[in-house]
Every structure is written in C-alpha cells, then in structure tokens.
Amino acid sequence: MENRIPLLGEKFPAMTVKTTQGEKNYPDDLKGKWFVFFSHPADFTPVCTTEFYSFEQKADQFRKLGVELVGLSIDQVFSHIKWLEWIEEHLKTTISFPVVADDTGEVAKKLGLIHPGKGTNTVRAVMIVDPDGIIRALLYYPQELGRNIDEILRMVKGLQVATENQVALPANWPENELIKDEVIIPPAADEQTAKERKATYNCYDWWFCHRKL
C-alpha cells in the first residue's frame, strides 16, 4: 500500500496515530460513523489556516450528519498545538477535531499523500469514509487552491442519501437544473422493468427516470 493512492471501495487502512487529542486508532475508533479524513501541506501556512477555520465553521453541520472530521500533516504534535493555539487566539476559533501528527511520514506514505514533485509535504487531499470503513470519495487539490468545504459537506450528504435510498444524484444536487432536488432511479436491467419505469416514475426516457425522496 505504500505510496499508492487508495481506490474507491477499498478499506481505509488500519493505523494507530498520534493526534492533538491523544492516541487514536483509525478507522476502528470511528466504526459505525462517517468521517472526513483530510491532509494539509503544513502548519502555519495561509491556505491551510483558512481551510481549518472553514472546516470548524461547518463542524456542527458535519456532526449533525453523524460525520467526524480528522486532519493530518507531516508536522509534530507540538507544532499542531501551537498552530491551533494561534488560530484560537487570532481568529477566535477553537478547532474541535483531532489533527494527526505524522512526523515520520508513515501514515502519509500508506495513504499515498506524498506525491512526486511535491517534496516531503503532504498533498491537499480529502477522503470520505463510510461507517464500514470504506473509502467512498477522494479529492486531491493543488497546494495553491484551497478546498470548498460546502462541496465536501454536499458530497457527504449526497453519499448518505444515495446509500440509504439506493439511488444516484444529478449534477449540482440538490439544485439540479433539470430535476431540481429529485434523485435518479438506477437503470433498468431488463425490458419489462424498462417499460414499467416510465409508468411508475417521471422519466425523460426509460433509462433516465427520477423521483422525489
């Protein structure tokens, strides 16, 4: 697994890590919960600071969905602590989620978070993991572009809806230009089902049917 980006549908690798909130075992400590595991290039950097501030502003919305946040970078615990203290003092925001101190780089290597050409810093990545510890979504950003936290929140909501209802979601859900907040029915597997679909749901055609939740 070393230096390989995980694939969608794979299990989040088991690991024991040091964090700003003590030793943690992932994904076991979050079994039965969704979680967003995200890496940042380094502490005390402007883009990462804006991201942590934004994640914390949305933290309650994530938790209402049963989602935990976990950060990581290749910095020591004391660096994380001092940086979080700086954020609290200067930005009046207390970071409530744990931040993994991967000072050996072993976790980053296991998760493929150190890319060629980017030195030893971790990339700006996001992994959305479901209650079974399965990686459901991956996002990778360049160092110069900060993440859109609202989009990550939308993705979690969408994955939960899709999983619970066995449906797919359209572009820009829940504000799609064609079907608004409705969801897409999986394609029919046979001719009879295809015929029944058009009589049961709203359809553009037998292969494009949708409904309200």
Q: Is the domain defined by 15-147 classed in CATH 3.40.50.2000? A: no
Residue 131: Cβ-neighbour burial (10 angstroms; 0-12, 13-18, 19+): middle
Mean pLDDT value of segment 18-47: 96
Q: Domain locations in the chain?
A: 15-147, 166-213
| Marked catalytic residue, from 17, 30, 36, 48 | 48
Q: Are the C-beta atoms of 37 and 70 separated by less than 8 Å? A: yes
Q: Model confidence over 36-72: pLDDT tens digits?
A: 999 999 999 999 999 999 999 999 999 999 999 999 9
92's torsion region: left (phi>0), alpha (psi -120 to 50) or beta? left
Mean pLDDT of 164-170: 97
CB 39 within 8 A of CB 113: yes
Strand pairing partners for 138?
A: 127
- Class for domain 166-213, per CATH? alpha beta
Query: Known catalytic residue: 203?
Result: no
Task: Tell me the pTM.
Answer: 0.93
